[in-house]
Structure 1
Amino acid sequence: MKTTCLALAAALLCAPALATAAPATTLSPEQTFDLYARVLLEDDAAAARTLNDALRPAFDGQDAVTPTPDGLAAAMAAPLQALLAKSGDTSGGSAVPALLSANLHNTHCRADQAQVRDNASVARGKIAAVGFTCQVTALDGLRPLFEAAVREDSSANLTRFTDAYLAALRDGPRQAVRGSLDLYPAGNGAGWHSANLDDLVAPVVNALLPFAVWSQEAAALEAPKVTGVPGCDLLLQQHRQCLARTAPDQVPGVDAMAEELKAKAKVMTPEAMTRECKALRSMAEAMWGDDCG
């Protein structure tokens, strides 16, 4: 799942422009994060009131957040409903939003710590980097079922996977995932706020909707071995195939990229190479446009 879909967080919690009135209550970065998480993931009305009460003086008397109950669950439901439809399930799809909503309510993303640093972009500005942990449903055990469904693409295989997946969402084991969210001063000592909650949502969405990542990792194992790092080899294969169709004159640039990555793979760890190629993929995909994927 591409991170662009995470922009839905901004739509779910809309915020007006900042003002400069004195706050009634000042929340710490950790308290602020916890309230955002409870509003966005758990549909906690009391958390929304507390957050708005604290931030309202800094937002010209308006509410800082306008929650959309079950909005995130509804947005996440679409790919699951598409899978169920493909498997031939004509009734289970309608229950997916409520199932996801119940799952999100138990995700419990909470702040562990916050580190405040200077904001190099704003004179005398600060940034609070809040580290947090979320309790998400553990889905790695379902990966063989998913890979079987992709490999053979039969209705029976897909049904086995979707049945196991929905059961896991209902009452499967959970595991901890970590993330970090930057918060910024709300103005005039009024605590902290976020204008972009994608970094809060991302660990949860990536954990519950891992299909794109699983598919890409499976494809990487089949890519021609150039660097020996699956993510890098898949990138080179896809980039070459795309440019061969859309910009053949740029294919020599892929050869140069391959040689550079091969040289780096001799001195860098596989983990570091994977991170580098992930960053390169973002740039390559920007070149591909709609003609490649």
Structure 2
Amino acid sequence: MLLPLLVVMVPAAARPVPLTPETTFDLYMRTAIENDPQARREFEANVGPALHLFPDMETEASSLAEALPSGALEWLVNDAGADDATRAQQAWTTAVLRNTRCRALSSDIWHRLSDGYRVATIRFSCQVGDTERLRTLSDASMFDPQEEEDDRFWSAYVALLRDGPFKTIYGTSELVMAPDSEIWYSEAFDPRTLGSEVDNDVASALAGEWQAMHSWWFQTMRMTERRMTLVAECDELVQQYRRCAARFAPQELLGAYALAKQVSDQHGTVADSELAQQCLALRPKVEGLWPEPCE
């Protein structure tokens, strides 16, 4: 009697346990984004015939790479040279994506009455380079638009996303399960593409950090415009301060912002002619801060 019992029990024990929404999300991230071979084996063993529900698994490069800024990829090409450009881009992109370590934190499961599907609303976290540390370098490349400034910013940016320091960001997404299935998967974000809703949600969370410099540039331009006095001597003084700080000591841009605020606050309470004289008197002090002229 023992042998037949064993024969019956083996298939039951060998049957894969259905993955939870959190485990499905984690394995998908490790496979499609981080290119983890062990995760791919686990994923394929559990999903099996339903692998077609995960079109991004069939491509070698993650669609998430499209969220990385073109400026960083162009810098890598210029830095590596034509012969090594493709290899350098691939190596950097792979390292950045592996750093993301997007993982599910929790989920709430509910039923969608329209079609009987179960839906898991997943809260997740990802690791991303703390790009806020580069804001002064970004502003420096704006106020002193030379190739050296641009190179300094993108060099630091590429290193930060690859090596850190990192910070944690958060997002939400959804997985669904058909009424006759035990497989959680992500619905298509756009039926005309291979991208899924999870791909889009994760990319949106990360792109907010990866592409932060675009919002910085806009914010800095708005602030610069608001601080203008239309008193030529003062606006030129502030502009010179910004340009020299950007070139010689980007951290000193904080001083330029403080000077712009001080002059702007005085404008309207002090006659333009008097304000112009005050700015002219400050000019030698500002010029003395730098090792050489930066006109």
- Scaled by the length of structure 1, the TM-score of the pair is 0.58
Unaligned runs of 5+ in 2: 1-14, 188-195, 228-295
Distance 1:159 1:50, change over 3 A: same
Distance 1:53 1:211, change over 3 A: same
Q: What is residue 113 of structure 1 aligned with on the other side?
A: 106
1:161-210 CA-partner distances (Å, limit 9, x unpaired): 12211221332211100011111104513131003121022222332232
Q: What is residue 217 of structure 1 aligned with on the other side?
A: 219
Does the 8 Å CA contact 1:81/1:93 hold for their aligned counterparts?
no
Distance 1:165 1:111, change over 3 A: same
Amino acid at match of 1:101: T
Unaligned runs of 5+ in 1: 1-22, 226-293
Amino acid at match of 1:42: E
1:14-48 CA-partner distances (Å, limit 9, x unpaired): xxxxxxxxx95411000011011112221123323
- Scaled by the length of structure 2, the TM-score of the pair is 0.58
2:26 is aligned with 1:31: no
What aligned pairs does 1:245-256 form with structure 2 within 5 A after superposition?
Answer: none
Instruction: Using the TM superposition, give the Cα deviation of residue 151 of structure 1 relative to its aligned residue in structure 2, in angstroms.
Output: 2.6
Q: What is residue 281 of structure 2 aligned with on the other side?
A: none
Q: Distance in 2 between matches of 1:55 and 1:143?
A: 43
1:197-225 CA-partner distances (Å, limit 9, x unpaired): 21022222332232323223334435679
Q: What is residue 157 of structure 2 aligned with on the other side?
A: 165
* Matched residue count: 198
Aligned match for 2:116, one of 111, 117, 124: 124
Distance 1:131 1:63, change over 3 A: closer
What aligned pairs does 1:130-141 form with structure 2 within 5 A after superposition?
Answer: 130-141=122-133
Distance 1:190 1:73, change over 3 A: closer
1:213-264 CA-partner distances (Å, limit 9, x unpaired): 3223334435679xxxxxxxxxxxxxxxxxxxxxxxxxxxxxxxxxxxxxxx
Distance 1:161 1:211, change over 3 A: same
Give the aligned CA root-mean-square deviation in angstroms.
2.9
What aligned pairs does 1:45-84 form with structure 2 within 5 A after superposition?
Answer: 45-58=37-50, 64-65=54-55, 66-72=57-63, 75=66, 76=68, 78-83=70-75
Does the 8 Å CA contact 1:55/1:64 hold for their aligned counterparts?
no
What is the identity percentage for the equivalent residue pairs of Structure 1 and Structure 2? 27
Amino acid at match of 2:122: V
